[in-house]
Structure 1
């Protein structure tokens, strides 16, 4: 069939196609404009043009500064609140630790005082209470007898008292300056009239070395009498 189309006919057909396409485009535009008000159609065209153009926004320096200041202020407030919370927690922890340490120290002190009291009570219970004796003949004899008991020295209250009254009448400072001992330079002294060599030989540790001391004099004399006569109770005259 192409053999029957002449060049002239081909030009005419091409011209007709172009015309038809143009008519169709114009018709479509006409239909679109007819469906909308003229103002909206114009706005639509402008909107498409505006959308096609790049958007440019320029920030206001005052607004930026205000936003920056607000953020900085909020940050400072948050940091201040955080520091205050941390400081409060630290102070509470410190106070709690100090309280615990004080309670521990008080408990240790109370325990130490309790132990000290218990130990003192135990020592007091372990050792007998110290006996005090009156400073008179009765007290001297009883104290001397307590010492004699520890050293297994025999002698009764009656035997000691009887010999004391005969020898010195109960005077601890009594001295014999007339008998043979006095002549020999060693007078008898004290409650039981003991000479110095005898006193020194039969002295009991823990008592005084003073020959006139009433307790030391009785103990040494009774120790001598026990060695010589078996007991002071067996002495009924000068010994």
Structure 2
């Protein structure tokens, strides 16, 4: 059998092999020694870095602003504003009421002319307030027939005159009738124009329904 010759390793070959073995071992050791990112504890995953001042010492934290006082002061400010608005509104209301009272107090009563037209209109205003029916036309028509518009007219010839109670005034009213149907708020005098008209209209309303229904002596 022929002999197989195995070449001997030279010194250079031995050194190269040793280097390869050493490098492979180091690589394997590094692969096993370096932990993966998944194996790093969470506590060491993120490191907080504190700011450093110019001299290398840790910088002091800036003082935090105290917003407690401002937050507490805001509602008080709002309440003060609401209170002022309420006071202003109350003062305006009081002022308006005072002005209204003065205006009402200062309002002068309506004046009527001292003639037949004025007497009729004033009587109608009183009649309206007292719920006595009658119109301007009804009063004027009967006045012209009874006295021709003379508030001092006196009938001295009819049956009433013969009985001692003559008819007087614009609508020729006798004293007993005037006393019974006199309207409060008017003069207590038979020949007063307004008092005479309203008393006569009141009497006619009770007996005929309205002075408008009277077309002759009544």
Q: What TM-score do you get using the length of structure 2 for normalisation?
A: 0.54
Q: Out of 146, 150, 154, which is 1:175 matched to?
A: 154
Note if 1:234 corresponds to 2:213.
yes
1:120-171 CA-to-partner distances (Å, cap 9, x unmatched) read 6424337864110000000000000000001100000000000000000000
1:142 equivalent in structure 2:
121
> Quick one: which of 126, 133, 136 aligns to 1:154?
133
Cα 1:238–1:127 shift into 2, 3 Å: farther
Matched residue count = 125
Q: Match of 2:58?
A: none
Change in CA separation of 1:177 and 1:149 when aligned onto 2, cut-off 3 Å: same
Matched, 1:198 2:177: yes
2:104 paired with 1:125? yes
Give ranges in structure 2 of 5+ residues lacking alignment: 1-93
Distance 2:134 2:143 in 1: 13
In structure 2, C-alpha distance between the alignment counterparts of 1:180 and 1:166, rounded to whole Å: 18
SS at match of 1:189: coil
For the residues of structure 1 that align with 2:164 and 2:106, how far apart are their CA atoms? 44
Quote the offset at 1:119 in angstroms: 3.2
Once residues 179 and 125 of structure 2 are traced to their aligned partners in structure 1, the CA distance between those partners, rounded to angstroms, is 20
Residue of structure 2 equivalent to 1:31: none
2:184 matched to 1:221? no
Once the two structures are TM-superposed, the CA of residue 214 in structure 1 deviates from its matched residue by 0.1
Larger Rg computed on CA atoms = 1
Match of 1:165 in 2: 144
State the distance in 1 between where 2:106 and 2:131 align: 21
Let me know the Cα RMSD of the aligned residues: 2.1
Could you tell me the TM-score, scaled by structure 1's length?
Answer: 0.49
Partner residue of 1:209?
188
Q: Where has structure 1 moved over 6 Å in runs of 4 or more?
A: 115-118
Counterpart secondary structure, 2:112: coil
The superposition leaves residues 97-122 of structure 1 with CA deviations (integer Å, 9 ceiling, x where unpaired) of xxxxxxxxxxxxxxxxxx89973642
